[in-house]
Structure 1
Amino acid sequence: MSMLKVENLSKTFTGNDGRELTVLHEVSFEIGAGETFAIVGPSGSGKTTLLGLCAGLDQASSGAVYLNGIQLDPLSEDERAAVRNEHVGFIFQNFQLLPTLTALENVMIPLELQGDPDALSQATELLRRVELNDRLDHYPSQLSGGEQQRVAMARAFANRPKILFADEPTGNLDEDTGQLVEDLLFQLNEEANTTLVLVTHDLDLAAKTQRMLRLKGGKVVI
């Protein structure tokens, strides 16, 4: 079964001077359910733009995106948000934790939004899985970068997403911390049988996935 299908996807921006800049050129690929997949390429190659389109955070100029069989392109912003809430998890390079909430409260958010009566115990267990059971009551400012990313990872898996998008998940971490985050990410992903889409410039990290797509100048290269 296809979890993500991208057909002839292009994205063009219009600058303040009226000039058009095409950052993605007719990109096509398909990812099966439970597959691990990497999108690689140098800075400015269109990786993050492509991820945003695949996740329904933005709309393409042309082409189509099907997420778990749902075509995102005709949907309104609210409808795309509803699809994301039901099917998608995110891990970002800069963590994006809420600073006024503890680690435990950050992980509980998606569970509470779904009305899960077991939110507290599930969030506690997820933080234990990422080796942070002694940091439950700490705020993001009291955590290291690696600890913040592990909280973000626990939050991403909290709503049991069918597909997880990770944008440079180790980009702000030192080598040892990055390795720990990588290992936990693949471990949790395998246990949950989630489709994983990694955006990275790190070829060693990309090599751990089953397949990779290379971008250069917004085009797929072999």
Structure 2
Amino acid sequence: MKKIKLLLVEDEIVLAGVVKETLEANGFHISHAENGMQGWEQYLSFRPEICVVDIMMPKKDGIALVKDIRAVDEQTPVIFLTAKSETQDVIKGLQSGADDYIKKPFSLEELILRIRTLLKRTQLTNTPVSPKSHNGIYLLGSYAFDHNRQELRHEKEVIHLSLREADMLKMLAERPNATTHRRNILLELWGDDNFFNARNMDVYISKIRKYLQHDPSVQLINVRGLGYKLVY
């Protein structure tokens, strides 16, 4: 049975250990981050189905982390863990994009119930959405493509792209499920659509297609006589 991928972002190590152990015993696959910066990196590489995030953390707090997540992903449910009880703090957390919150101290049974309720609601209401870019980052299936860093991240590996590979993938990612014409790619990236540049481009397309092989739902399709389409 496929395990639900859950990102736990919590800087209290003892609490995080107890929560992680309990959730794993209940069939979840857990990735734990100790602060908001680690949480963002793990969100991009782990691609969780639900996030449980503490608000008060070093380096980057939970509200800033969830704002980053929501800039590229409106659907993955987020539950805040908070020691704060003031109404305004709860409202601020929900306004940042969280779906629910639970106050410390809390029972693990209640946390599991909240998680399962959100997952069920998400499965019933989610519809496909077009990808967004946040600071040059695109979510492509189970991949996170960081154009600025020239990285294509998957939980199995991090692929370091050449500048031309990154620029080509960016052109395709900006037009998901639509054809990007060969001539447009050649003129944009090579400045000339001659035969030799076209053959060179075909090599790059083959390399990008190979990079995407970890996720069969992500396909770089050759549209005969026109160009290429990134579908997922």
TM-score range, shorter chain: under 0.3
TM-score between the two structures when normalised by the length of structure 2 = 0.23
- Larger C-alpha radius of gyration, 1 or 2? 2
Compute the TM-score of the two structures, normalised by the length of structure 1: 0.23
